[in-house]
Amino acid sequence: MKNKLVLGVIGADCHAVGNKILYHAFTEAGFQVENIGVLSSQEDFINAAIETNADAIIVSSLYGHGEIDCRGLREKCDEAGLKGILLYAGGNLVVGKQEWSDVEKRFLDMGFNRAYPPGTSPQTTINDLKKDLGW
């Protein structure tokens, strides 16, 4: 059975191009991707993951409010019975140039398994997914 991912762009963020690219990259890499697209709330991600029995949630944020939009997602996943589901985030997670290791730490503290700096190639994430899912 293929591993299932829920992919989307969180919050009031309408940057649609990267989302399409990620969808194709992950699909080609052999994942079944449920793409919920732009303007997706935390609840949209969680509901999609419940119905599809997903193994991972991949959150994009491009417009700079990623940190606020992602806060509490892990707790809500726990609440919804999605114990231990993988949570990844990437894109332009914060505004401007900030020290990446600080940003990464903040996302890991929020309960994300991995967070990626701007310009990360989809292939990096694919390799990590395979590792984390035990391929």
Partner 1 sequence: MDAILLIDFGSTYTKLTAVDIENEEIIATAKDLTTVESDIMIGFNNAYKKLEEKMKGLNVNFVDKLACSSAAGGLKMIAIGLVPELTAEAAKRAALGAGARILGVYSYELSRTEMKEILDKKPDIILLAGGTDGGNKDCIIHNAKLIAEHIKDIPVVVAGNKNARDEIEDIFKANDVFYKATENVMPRLNTINVEPAREVIREIFMAKIVEAKGMKNAENFISGILMPTPAAVLKAAQALADGSDKEEGIGELVIIDIGGATTDVHSIASGEPTKPGVTLRGLQEPYAKRTVEGDLGMRVSSASLWEAAGTRRIKKFIPDTKYDIEERCKYLQQNVNVIPQTQEEIEFDEALGMTATEIAMERHVGQIESVYTPMGIIYSQVGKDLLNVKYLIGTGGVLVHSPHPERILKAGTFDTENPNFLKPINPQVLIDRTYILSAMGLLAQKYPDKAVRIMKKYLVKA
Contact criterion met (CB below 8 Å) for 56 and 86: yes
Provide the sign of the torsion angle of the four alpha carbons 104, 110, 113, 119, taken in this order.
negative
Among positions 63-82, residues that touch ligand B12 (CB under 6 A) are 63-64
- Residue 78, interface with partner 1 (CB under 8 A)? no
Question: How far from each other are the two terminal CA atoms of the chain, in whole angstroms?
Answer: 12
Note every long-range contact of 77-81, with CB atoms under 8 Å and residues 24 or more positions apart, other chains counting: 77/46, 77/49, 80/46, 80/49, 80/50, 81/50
Tell me the window of 44-52, 69-77, 84-92, 104-112 that interacts with ligand B12 (CB under 6 A): 84-92
- Residue 6, interface with ligand B12 (CB under 6 A)? no
Residue in 1, 83, 96, 99 binding partner 1, rule: CB under 8 A? 1
**15 counts as catalytic:** yes
- Residue 108, interface with ligand B12 (CB under 6 A)? no
- Residue 22, interface with ligand B12 (CB under 6 A)? yes
Q: Which residues are annotated as a binding site for adenosylcob(III)alamin?
A: 12-16, 60-62, 92-96
